[in-house]
Structure 1
């Protein structure tokens, strides 16, 4: 149910009070379960595993010391600090220390590429740079934060690496804090004050800094408690750094496996299975790439995840086959909870795997992907598709059920702005009284039961044209899922190609390498017959086989259609 007028009024009244900080949850956990496990970090070497552990009381105390050290060092409340530290005890201690001190962490995805990283730092103008030696070396060579960064702190590394980083060590900062005898009092801020800047990955466009408030973090914690049912004392296999921070805030231990969190597809399943077994993890957060990789490994070894009672998948739509394969490792009744959202607004809706299986036939017929009903406090609307800014909600008329349009969301976990991106904020936000609604950049529809169906990115729509005359509109997911039912097709992507002044739909095909394929002409005829079965694919009769789709590093699922469009246009001219 959406926040009503009275709730909004109460939120407005309390937003003037300086009483917010996500670390208050850590403080309570340290008081209520001081010796309870907060974080365990796995180290794998030649099939042998060791674990570094810290309890809630120690994590609280250590982050207090670091917070005091940061302030004495000159990194103070309101300053911005880039944080490029691999998942570790230090990562948790540092992040909570920054929040406690009222310092604003800037979190970026290292997999977004050097050019995008530099742009992020130029836009955010950080005052400090905290990172591992590799990050500092890159900072010095590539000029990251040049002109704004005044303090640099190094975390970990060998003697030579530390020397190359040319930065004050975290140990020094901690020692400064330890020598300050006064009891630390965390900064209390207004709920709508900026708490962090999280940059989008850039997999569907230019990375943008999303302004996170303390109220947003609180709303996400509430959703994990109330909608996902996470309770204190649980243990989570933490494969995504940002989500792993919510563990200690929920009184849940974060178990960090030995893997590259920026490239989950490269993870060694044996490491993750060992960590789950060692700590009897009850919760897992996995993206589609990792879901597929673990499912394949589990199928080969007949592995079982008997302690797991909840699996959360997010980041991109997971395939039905991946979910079914992975679910073989779970006990009967344990769900894979597929979450829909974005950096700007997460989570928005959720659907369990059992319910998803019942909608899969409709998905294969091109009805879109069902992503469930909105979670508590979230409102979802569908509006007419437009590239123009929409300043006010009272000038917008939502579409009726079963009509495809832009997905617009509102709720307490929805961001209100991008950092230093005024035009992007105007394009993505619609003012509705005291708050902004967010245009997701996705298209879809609500059905008669209030279920949300996703039909792809707005920017990936293909409009067939004869000259300037629009003939037909093609949405990515409804079209591609039809062709993906062919056994020889691993995945497909529809793009627009210019042919003699007209825009025509062309479907790029990546073949399933596990199946012996027929000739291209036979395959194309099969796909044309498939297209003719449905009104939304009728008229598609051009196909190109691509050897290996360009996809994002983290999820291995978000197709770089812009690159495919350029490739398809060039192939068509050959």
Structure 2
């Protein structure tokens, strides 16, 4: 098997169908399925001519565009492994990643090749490829090669390695095989209703691969996709006018930014996830665009997707529950994912368990705890096993992934998210259970003037940080309900660099500590 087998099929069945469209300066550039496959074959041939062989690893540092996807698919075609590093976590991650898993080649933009002056690890990589001409590199081939079949591989052949800092700050490498990515596409295509001939505004790299496998057209969003909260809504509106875009999947920060610019496009369907999706934002979209179908998607790097929730299917009692601090509804697990809620053992490795032992730590319906999942598209382990001890549970032949999220299942089998296990607050005197942040934060986000909210423990006090201009009376009942010691207004609450939407609780605690008495 090979992931690129599907592209070869589509190139033959629908040669003239557009695979990608992107903006390039003042003009649009597009490529059809057959021309894309020709470029992929040429790229695979270029890699082999440079001395690379099946099983070698190529490190990618490149912005999202057609050439990136062509080079990535060429890597898969040749039976090689693509490796990506999340630069948002810091340049030091490059050195650490290459120490854990050396690369035999480096594919980058001319600008990213300048990093070789600063990184000895990059200079040690023996072969260098560039999407455009750059000194001492092999330029991406401009010619089309005669098409040839992809290398045939076993399902467990590594295809894609991604390094991230992880929630603990310790770099971990997720290694996805050809079999894993095939299973992930199957789950994504059903969960996101991917159908041939649809046109998707693309902001998330992994979704573009699923779009290709589904025979769709991907319009690469005309924006800096490394900073979704900084989207230029006017440019997106212009793309909507040029192309028959019907759908978009993006971080909630991407959609919120367009709302704030009063320029939200008239999508037929919106899929959003990767960070908490608060109902207050979905209500704003629904009020302005009642015909737009809104779907929240729950998943993670290790398990994408887990579930989805169609906003139109939320009942009145669901909305009231979210408004009153009962968590965020993210729907039923999909058919490819098995889920359990276990006792919260956050930060503590768990030993191998028997089925009876696993059942003993599994909680009943309605009881909050740690969310664990398993399935063919759920990562069974990290590269070299680094990070497995604290994130995996082995129950005979089944490997469960510990998501690090807290939540519970309701009577209908739907998942309600409560927040990160690591962000929970200890109960005060008279309280019987810890408090997780999402419920309080979602409730606060409904209050007029509140742009963002974060609940943390600060010097033994329960503190609710508020970004925006909320009136004191609107916060008083919330403060009393959750026994909050201090409401603390802030100009900006720190969020993650990748999605621009997840609260960075460690960074917030550090900032509050620096403020000293002003936050006490």
The alignment's TM-score, normalised by the length of structure 2, stands at 0.91
Shift of 1:488: 4.1
Shift of 1:365: 0.8
Shift of 1:403: 0.5
1:550 counterpart = 2:507: no
In structure 2, the partner of 1:11 is: none
Would the aligned equivalents of 1:373 and 1:450 in 2 still touch at CA under 8 Å?
Answer: yes
- Which stretch shifts more, 341-350 or 430-439? 430-439
Shift of 1:86: 1.8
In structure 2, the partner of 1:479 is: 440
* 1:389–1:204 CA distance, 2 compared to 1 (3 A): closer
**Which aligned segments of 4 or more residues in structure 1 are displaced greater than 4 angstroms?**
201-204, 328-331, 469-472
Residues 322-351 of structure 1 deviation map (CA, whole Å, 9 limit, x = unaligned)? 22333456562x421110010111000000
What SS class does the counterpart of residue 346 from structure 1 fall into?
Answer: coil
Would the aligned equivalents of 1:405 and 1:444 in 2 still touch at CA under 8 Å?
Answer: yes
Shift of 1:134: 1.6
In structure 2, the partner of 1:495 is: 456
In structure 1, the partner of 2:325 is: 366
Find the aligned partners of 1:462 and 1:471 in 2 and give their Cα distance: 12
- Which stretch shifts more, 20-29 or 195-204? 195-204
Find the aligned partners of 2:442 and 2:218 in 1 and give their Cα distance: 36
Find the aligned partners of 1:406 and 1:65 in 2 and give their Cα distance: 47
Find the aligned partners of 1:489 and 1:226 in 2 and give their Cα distance: 35
Aligned counterpart in structure 1 of residue 301 of structure 2, from 340, 343, 348: 343
Structure 2: where are the runs of 5+ without partners?
none
Residues 73-114 of structure 1 deviation map (CA, whole Å, 9 limit, x = unaligned)? 112211111112222221121011000111110123333322
What SS class does the counterpart of residue 185 from structure 1 fall into?
Answer: coil
Find the aligned partners of 1:197 and 1:439 in 2 and give their Cα distance: 20
1:407 counterpart = 2:371: yes
Find the aligned partners of 1:75 and 1:41 in 2 and give their Cα distance: 30
What SS class does the counterpart of residue 382 from structure 2 fall into?
Answer: coil
1:246 counterpart = 2:210: yes
Would the aligned equivalents of 1:241 and 1:261 in 2 still touch at CA under 8 Å?
Answer: no
Find the aligned partners of 1:478 and 1:43 in 2 and give their Cα distance: 43
What SS class does the counterpart of residue 345 from structure 1 fall into?
Answer: coil
RMSD value, Cα: 2.5
Residues 502-537 of structure 1 deviation map (CA, whole Å, 9 limit, x = unaligned)? x3322222233xxxx65xxxx3x763532333xxx2
Find the aligned partners of 2:475 and 2:289 in 1 and give their Cα distance: 36
Find the aligned partners of 1:434 and 1:66 in 2 and give their Cα distance: 39
* 1:259–1:460 CA distance, 2 compared to 1 (3 A): same
In structure 1, the partner of 2:156 is: 192
In structure 1, the partner of 2:127 is: 151
Aligned counterpart in structure 2 of residue 89 of structure 1, from 52, 60, 66: 66
Aligned counterpart in structure 1 of residue 466 of structure 2, from 485, 503, 509: 509
Find the aligned partners of 1:323 and 1:471 in 2 and give their Cα distance: 32
Shift of 1:62: 1.1
* 1:56–1:526 CA distance, 2 compared to 1 (3 A): closer
Find the aligned partners of 1:434 and 1:193 in 2 and give their Cα distance: 20
Shift of 1:139: 3.0
Residues 273-322 of structure 1 deviation map (CA, whole Å, 9 limit, x = unaligned)? 2223322112211211111122344xx46x762xx432211211223232
What SS class does the counterpart of residue 566 from structure 1 fall into?
Answer: helix
Shift of 1:265: 1.8
Shift of 1:452: 0.2
1:419 counterpart = 2:383: yes
Find the aligned partners of 2:315 and 2:489 in 1 and give their Cα distance: 29
Shift of 1:497: 2.6
1:527 counterpart = 2:475: yes
* 1:124–1:207 CA distance, 2 compared to 1 (3 A): same
Shift of 1:431: 1.8
Find the aligned partners of 1:377 and 1:28 in 2 and give their Cα distance: 25
Shift of 1:376: 1.6
1:137 counterpart = 2:99: no
Would the aligned equivalents of 2:191 and 2:305 in 1 still touch at CA under 8 Å?
Answer: no
Residues 199-254 of structure 1 deviation map (CA, whole Å, 9 limit, x = unaligned)? 33646644421111222211222123333221112111111222212222211111
* 1:234–1:489 CA distance, 2 compared to 1 (3 A): closer
* 1:321–1:202 CA distance, 2 compared to 1 (3 A): same
- Which stretch shifts more, 95-104 or 213-222? 213-222
Shift of 1:124: 2.7
Find the aligned partners of 2:259 and 2:467 in 1 and give their Cα distance: 21
* 1:229–1:69 CA distance, 2 compared to 1 (3 A): same
Find the aligned partners of 2:285 and 2:260 in 1 and give their Cα distance: 7
In structure 2, the partner of 1:225 is: 189
Aligned 1:245-394 pairs, distance under 5 A? 245-297=209-261, 300=262, 305=266, 308-327=267-286, 330=289, 332=291, 334-356=292-314, 358=316, 359-386=318-345, 387-393=347-353, 394=355
The alignment's TM-score, normalised by the length of structure 1, stands at 0.83
Would the aligned equivalents of 1:337 and 1:352 in 2 still touch at CA under 8 Å?
Answer: yes
Structure 1: where are the runs of 5+ without partners?
1-19
In structure 1, the partner of 2:399 is: 436
Would the aligned equivalents of 1:82 and 1:129 in 2 still touch at CA under 8 Å?
Answer: yes
Shift of 1:378: 0.8
How many residue pairs were aligned?
Answer: 512
